[in-house]
Amino acid sequence: MATALETLCGQAYGAKQYHMLGIYLQRSWIVLFATAILLLPLFIFTAPIMRALGQDPNIVAVAGDISYWFIAVLFAFLVSFTCQMFLQSQSKNMIIAYLAAASLAIHLFLSWLLTVNFKFGLAGAMTSTILAYWIPNLGQLMFVMCGGCKETWKGFSILAFNDLWPVIKLSLSSSTMLCLELWYNTILVLLTGNLKNAEVSVDALAICLNINGWEMMISLGFLAAASVRVSNELGRGSSKAAKFSIVMIVLTSFCIGLVLFIVFLFLRGRLAYIFTTSHEVAMAVADLSPLLAFSILLNSVQPVLSGVAVGAGWQSIVAYVNIACYYLIGIPVGVVLGHIYNMQVKGIWVGMLFGTFVQTVILLIITYKTDWDKQVEIARGRVNKWFIAETGEGNANAQDA
C-alpha cells in the first residue's frame, strides 16, 4: 500500500509542489495505520486460526507466540516503507542505503548477542528483529523531520485528514498489484507440496526461489528507479524524458538479467550446495536450473515495467493484468502440466513462467502504445486538482504552481 506514495510524491515533486509531499506522507500514515489496526486480529488470534486449519499443535504453539512479536514489526513496516517512498521520490537514496546497512549490522550483532551469547532463544531473535527495524526507522523520521527535507516536510498538518479517499483507492490498487505477484510464488510452493516426493521437490524449489529472490533485489532497485524517474518526469511535464528513462532502465536491467541468465545456466546445481548437503536435492535443483535462468531473465524486465506503472499511476490496470495472466493463465497451465501431464514441479513452474511471460508482453505493449503526452496532462491535472483541494486556491493559482 505504501507504493501509492511513489506515484503521489513522485509526480508532486516533479511538478515542484514540494509542500504536498509531507501531506501525502502523513495521509499515507493515516491510511496504513488504520489498515494495520484491521490486521491485528490475524496476529492476536494466530494460534486458534492455525488450529482451525489443522496445523500441527507444536507449530501452532510457537507460531502463536511469534505472532505477538510481529505486531511491532507490522507497525515498523508502516513507518519504514512510507518514509522510503517519500525519500526515494526526491532521490534521497543514500540516507536509505546508510540506514539499511546500519540495520543489517545491528541485526547481525544483536542476533549473535541475544541468541548465541545470552541464549535467549526465540525471544532474543525477535527482540533483535524488532530493534533492527525500529532503530533505522527512528533515523529516517529524524532525517525527515529535523532538516533533511526542508522543502518537502513542513510539519504536521490538519490537511492530512482531508480528501483521503483518492489515497485509499490508489493504496488498495498498489497493494493488489504487488500482492498478486507475491502470492504467485507462494501458490507455486503450495502446488509443489502436493506432488510425489514432495519433500525433495519443495526443498529444490525453495532453493531456486531463494536464488531468484537474491536476483530480484536488483530488479526491485530498477523498479524503484523507474517509478521515481517516470513520476518525476510526468510531474515535470517532460514526456520525452519519461520515455527515454523507460528505455534506458529496461535495457540496463535486461542486460544485467542476460548476464545472470548465462551464469545460472552454467552453474546449474552447484549453487544448491550453499543451501544443502543432499545430493538428491542438488540434482533436483540442477534439473530446475534452466527454468530458474529463464525466471531471472523475465524478472529483469517485468519488475521495471511494474515500476513504470507505479510511476504513471496505472496500479489498477496492472492489477487486472496480473489477475488474468497469473491466476487465469499461469496457475491453470501449471496445474495441467504438473498433475495431468505428470511433469511434476517442472510443469508447475513452466505454467507460472508462461503466465509471467504473457504479463511481461502485455505490459510491454501497454507501455509502447501509451500516449505519454497525454500521461503528462493526466499527471499535471491530478497534481493541480489535489493542490486546489488542499489549499482552497483557484485555478489560476494552481496553474501558476
The conformation of residue 118, written as its DSSP 8-state character, comes to S
CB contact at 8 A, 344 and 193? no
* pLDDT mean over 27-38: 95
Write the DSSP string, 237-300. Answer: T-HHHHHHHHHHHHHHHHHHHHHHHHHHHHHGGGGGGGT---HHHHHHHHHHHHHHHHHHHHHT
The whole-number pLDDT of residue 388 equals 59
Q: What is the pLDDT of residues 79-131, one digit of tens each?
A: 999 999 999 999 898 999 999 898 889 889 999 999 888 888 888 989 999 99
Q: What is the pLDDT of residues 220-245, one digit of tens each?
A: 888 888 988 998 888 888 889 999 99
Query: What does the block give as the cell for 95?
Result: 540516507
Residue spans of the domains in the chain: they are 1-163, 168-370
Write the DSSP string, 44-67. Answer: HTHHHHHHHTT--HHHHHHHHHHH
Q: How much of the chain is in helix, strand and coil states, percent to nearest 5? A: 85, 0, 15
Beta carbons within 10 angstroms of residue 174's beta carbon:
24
CB contact at 8 A, 220 and 260? no
CB contact at 8 A, 12 and 20? yes
Q: Residue 30: is its pLDDT beyond 90?
A: yes
Residue in 215, 188, 190, 171 with CA at minimum distance from that of residue 6: 171
Angle (CA) 159-165-171 rounded to 5° is: 105
Contacts for 395 with CB less than 8 Å, ≥ 6 apart: 384, 388
The conformation of residue 387, written as its DSSP 8-state character, comes to H
User: Any idea which residue has 531473535 for its cell?
Assistant: 125
Q: How confident is the model at residue 254 (pLDDT cuts 50, 70, 90)?
A: very high
The whole-number pLDDT of residue 390 equals 57
Answering whether pTM is above 0.75, one says yes
Q: What is the pLDDT of residues 201-220, one digit of tens each?
A: 778 878 888 888 888 888 88
Distance, in Å, from the CA atom of 17 to the CA atom of 235, rounded to the nearest integer, reads 9
Cα separation of the two ends of the chain: 28
User: Any idea which residue has 525519500 for its cell?
Assistant: 87
Average confidence score pLDDT of the chain: 86
Amino acid at the residue 334? G
